[in-house]
Structure 1
């Protein structure tokens, strides 16, 4: 029987949270820091030394020797530089352990070696990390010891954001300010702050570590670049929510315990649709904390896997032919006094505040669909979006039957007089209770679905940071709220004005609503008729970041400057190029050093066998061996031609100097060449003796965990 875990005792034990601060800080200092955290007030610099001293003592008592400013550069992962608490040695040869307010509030990592998209020249090295006191510091335990991690933002010497957190914090302030204006219009003067909350569901694959080490593609690219489908895939639908295997259950147990110690509210775990695929979901948190915690989730998933002889794959499409992985970004807006702006209530047709908020969000998503799509664009997601398992690359909004009926009433007659109710679900079994139904079903094919009191943005890739989509959601919503408040604050008759504005916005942006099957070809045709953008690849989506509309909006709300947006465009083109170049060169390496030699060996064995049989028995039927030899030799020739073409195209594209042109060339020329090389290789895998094939098969990887 496994060890009993006391979750309440374990939860947050490695976090410098409110409970710890209340115990260790003077009352006046605690109040000032709490005001900053809860009200978004400016940090009082006079308290920094006191907080730093208390934080240091707490950390050292728990074995910490170093501290680090933990930040999120534009690499897509986190970064850190460790400094010990040791001060200058004393005359007696001992050391003093110190940590000042200045060291807590500000760090100076080298900014020249992180992506900046031209914001910083290589020789301009200075950058600053600034303490985000709204996200609690925590202790991380690993092989190098215990480290105090301080969540921070990262900016250049000249003030530009070089990270994913700074724009997120700016966008939170923008939507807070405009949402309060909306609440005030409805007579709410008690709410002082509106905060976006997020619960990101994280999908991932687990494979055996020893088999992982035999696949250069998994090591270098995070996904399989070759691989034929096994006899069984996911067609039996027996993995989803199935019984969790013991090895995986032991892994999940340790993941939970590690996350709980870090204050991450991991709640739900289950098998996902594909074999070897799983999901972990937390409880909702303030968005910047949720972003930090999701990075910790990804880190812990990978770290703990190694202790169980496993590897965690976070790539969006590690295996062709089975479902890929994403993370559903469940987003809502909640005031400090508990008002959820996305709660429709029992009778949404009477909830005018909700209908205004809904119409504003529909307007925001329709107006900036390209930006929302771009926020989920990464190289791995190109293999997943629209692949009959994930949302299509077309942005649409599912609002369900109940709300669609209210919208229909408002648009057709100008009045909404009723709301459909859920009713009762009767199971037909006497011993089972009748269940109250929700007023609408769910739609798993929708990229942006209303699910009762939140919107679920389902496009985000499993390896990606959730910061970018939430920056976009916060900012486009802030813009729509501002435009609505600007109109309504000037109205002489508020009731009439808000009614007219809701109807006007719903009618103008109704095209973004789609409650049907987002996987169907018919929807692609319908979306085109509606004028909805279909940005199929990351390359198609990137330009949305720096359009005139995007620049104007982000600059108005001080979330991004034009220079910061243009820098991110350059960084994303560069990231695409580098990722595809690595994949292409990995395929070339594997083909030349592993696949071709294995196939040559197999054909040699076949030829030797054929010769010996003919020599021993000239009348024996050797047609099978002859056909096999001809077939394998033909595929081998195809593979050699394809790898030569890939080498030529990769060399040609790598020589292009302009970022966008180079990324486009990799997308248009190298990616199809990679597919052309994979095709004969996967056919050969199905023919060549398993003992000779140098790579663990899909069956080995996804069924033997």
Structure 2
């Protein structure tokens, strides 16, 4: 079958697609009844656990008390009975290794009873601890391959849930994953440690405002997940999308996103059906998804939840990514979570909306109506500013990956320079603090549209900045640099740890300044805030983060770092101040931190090497042959014209031949580069970034130039036009 026929068949299949699953009926099965129905949540625990066991477990979940192991058997029995009542035959400890993906090993409940039958059993020991084979997960040097033992440990703070499959259900138990020596091999363990550190330091500060309590202060998160949808028929004809998740070749479509007609536009019916089923599946799992809409780029969409505690939000985001991929297949589509699947248009991020607080206090980043008088808010906001200024490079390193490097710096993705956007109101307040004290706040007011029948709209005190990596957005900060395919655990671990250090600094300063009767609290807070603003205002920037002027000013005047690529960013993890931060607050040991740097460098190298090898293969076996056939057609046409005495214009043939030669040479040069060997991961990553990636782009430039001149019926690959606009 010719490449053209394959593309025609794919287009026909898209046009004639009919969903095979039964339409959803929200009238008979209401979302309010569905929500959390497959979760071993507070309501289920209260119904099924003895009162003393329930209270003990709740103290651990809500207050952070140590778990009482004696209740494990009772909880396990109740959890098993609940799961079996929902059709479960197996259970699994779900964990999040350093691949960034979700991992699980399933074990059955059934145990032979010795009489020819079987019983469903599940003990507290099995609930608390599992032992998967850890030998094939990345460890970054924490263990050698033959040291295979690893443990999964029940995370009491996140509820177990039922995962449905057409052939049955499975009880899923969220767990941490550690080595035989107790070192963290996962994303969850450091996050839980960082939450402990944050609570300890926040309580010290809150004591001065009379707000310290047994209720834990935690970080909250609401990650906005962006993604692309492409018909599966097209993906099956694109090896780059199948293997790499992004297009390594592709000339721009005649129309991209420049008309700005896709953003918030009417959702295509097939996509809307997909979204509704995604939401239905997530409702069952207790994931509080709230928003769905078209994103900026054609074929790009977004799903966003309500805020949750960081640990639960992280687990739920993993569920969101898995569900998006699984449900897309039911509708004949593939969900692409790569940060830049298509060149020249918006990439996909995962905006992490971050705040700290608890159920009683609400968000400690909430300024209230008169933020200049809200000392508690100003202290916590100043702590965040100080943290980003001191550890901006660390924050950049947490979002470093081969895929995210393609996205950062344009098309609504923030630049690699970490800065803080405060908006007009807060910038004005902190300017007042720098001069001695804040006495007023710019009011919000009402926005009048000029139409009598439309009501006045409450107007925010400042605009939003889409180019800022860390922007204040009302009662939280939005960290916009996280990639769509990433776990949100890493950035939150850094944010929690950075903020803990700043709160520690603030608490210690106040403890040394404030009198026992708190009579001079205002004076001490004012002096402290003034000092923080003067030392750390360089990180505050409210302008255009893409401008060359800012990039120059940020580096030369403000001393901020511009770590454009992953090989530049990851060495930050080895800096003394970063190691001291994580070790002091017991989030990472030095060995654990070193392992992360090694793993992320290795992932970068493997990703770029895979892409480079595929570039060579696709160029030689898919692009070159089709272009040569077209070259042959042009040559035959010229020969035929000359045979009948007509002139033949050789320009097209010469141009095509030059492009083919360029493609061949660039592919050969790339292959030669890949033949080099390195003993050092950092050196190899740098080489791939500085030499191999530019050569891959050179190969692509010749291929994309050929795409726009080769006859359409001889072009093998589905085009951007087809993939982005046929839904």
Bucket of the pairwise TM-score, normalised by the shorter protein: over 0.9
8 Å Cα contact 2:24-2:277 kept in structure 1: no
State the shift of 1:613 in Å. 2.4
Q: Distance in 1 between matches of 2:122 and 2:608?
A: 44
**Matching residue of 1:298:** 321
Per-residue deviation, 1:141 = 1.3
The structural deviation recorded for 1:339 is 3.2
- Which of 40, 58, 80 aligns to 2:64? It is 40
Structure 1 position 678 matched with structure 2 position 700: yes
Report what 1:86 is aligned to. Answer: 110
2:175 is paired with a residue of what secondary structure?
Answer: strand
Task: Report the CA distance between 1:490 and its aligned residue.
Answer: 2.2
Which of 495, 501, 510 is residue 537 of structure 2 equivalent to?
A: 510
Asked whether the 8 Å contact 1:127–1:154 carries over to 2, the reply is: yes
Instruction: Find the partner of 1:431 among 444, 448, 453.
Output: 453
Q: Is the 8 A contact 2:222 2:354 kept in 1?
A: yes
TM-aligned CA distance change 1:189 to 1:471, over 3 Å? closer
- Asked if structure 2 preserves the Cα contact closer than 8 Å seen for 1:448 and 1:457, the reply is yes
Structure 1 vs Structure 2 CA RMSD: 1.1
Query: How many angstroms does 1:143 deviate by?
Result: 4.9
The CA distance in 2 between the partners of 1:77 and 1:645, in whole Å, is 34
CA shift, 1:142, in A, is: 2.3
Deviation track 1:371-401 (CA, whole Å, cap 9, x = no partner) reads 0111111111100100243101100000010
Which residue does 1:165 correspond to in 2?
Answer: 188
Separation (CA, whole Å) in 2 of partners of 1:424 and 1:198: 29
Select which of 631, 636, 642 maps to 1:614.
642
**Using the alignment, how far apart are the partners of 1:97 and 1:145 within structure 2?**
16
Instruction: Give the distance between the partners of 1:190 and 1:164, measured in 2 at CA.
Output: 28
CA–CA separation in structure 2 for the residues paired with 1:72 and 1:651: 34
Partner of residue 551, structure 1 = 579
- 1:268 aligned counterpart, secondary structure: strand
In 2, are the aligned partners of 1:131 and 1:152 still within 8 Å (CA)?
yes
Q: Decide which of 658, 661, 664 is 1:640's aligned counterpart.
A: 664
Deviation digits for residues 343-369 of structure 1, max 9, x if unmatched?
Answer: 111111111111111111111110000
Structure 1: unaligned runs, 5 residues or longer = none
SS in 2 for 1:392: coil
* 2:336 is the alignment partner of 1:310: no
Q: Unaligned regions of 5+ residues in structure 2, if any? A: 1-22
Report the counterpart of residue 443 of structure 1 in structure 2: 465
8 Å contact from structure 1 (residues 106, 129) kept in 2: yes
Secondary structure at the counterpart of residue 474 of structure 2: coil
TM superposition score normalised by structure 1 = 0.98
Are 1:10 and 2:34 matched, yes or no? yes
SS in 2 for 1:312: strand
Aligned 1:123-272 pairs, distance under 5 A: 123-143=146-166, 145-190=168-213, 192-272=215-295
Q: Distance in 1 between matches of 2:712 and 2:212?
A: 71
Measure the CA separation in 1 of the matches of 2:63 and 2:591. Answer: 30
Alignment match of 2:550 (pick from 511, 518, 523): 523
1:57 matches 2:85? no
- The SS at the match of 2:334 is strand
Q: Which runs of 4+ in 1 moved over 6 A?
A: none
Structure 1 counterpart of 2:494, from 448, 467, 472: 472
Distance in 2 between the 1:557 and 1:190 partners?
21
Greater mean alpha carbon deviation, residues 61-70 or residues 460-469: 61-70
What is the alpha-carbon distance in structure 1 between the residues aligned to residue 678 and residue 42 of structure 2? 53
C-alpha distance in structure 2 between counterparts of 1:415 and 1:91, whole Å = 79
Q: Secondary structure at the match of 1:260?
A: helix
Deviates most, 245-254 or 345-354 = 345-354
Q: Does 1:581 align with 2:617?
A: no
Q: Partner of 1:321 in structure 2?
A: 344
Q: What is the deviation of 1:473?
A: 0.4
**Matches for 1:304-453 after TM superposition, within 5 Å:** 304-411=327-434, 413-453=435-475
Cα deviation for residue 190 of structure 1 reads: 4.1
- Residue 599 of structure 2: aligned partner: 571
Deviation at 1:91, TM superposition (A): 3.1
Query: In 2, Cα distance between the equivalents of 1:191 and 1:128?
Result: 30
Which deviations, in whole Å up to 9, do the C-alpha atoms of 1:602-660 show, x marking residues without a partner? 11111112212222x313x421xx211111110000000000011111121xx212211
Match of 2:654 in 1: 630
Q: Provide the rounded CA distance (Å) in 2 between the counterparts of 1:389 and 1:681.
A: 28
Q: How does the TM-score come out when normalised to structure 2? A: 0.95
Tell me the distance in 1 between the aligned counterparts of 2:213 and 2:137. Answer: 43
Could you list the per-position Cα deviations for residues 413-446 of structure 1 after superposition, in whole angstroms to 9, with x for gaps in the alignment?
3121110011211110010011121111111111
Aligned residues: 697
Q: Distance in 1 between matches of 2:482 and 2:291?
A: 19
Conserved? CA contact 2:204–2:212, under 8 Å? no
Partner of 2:718: 696
Which region of structure 1 is more displaced relative to structure 2, 185-194 or 579-588? 185-194
Does 232-241 or 661-670 show the bigger shift? 661-670
SS in 2 for 1:321: coil
- Higher deviation after alignment, 634-643 or 343-352: 343-352
Shift of 1:499: 1.1
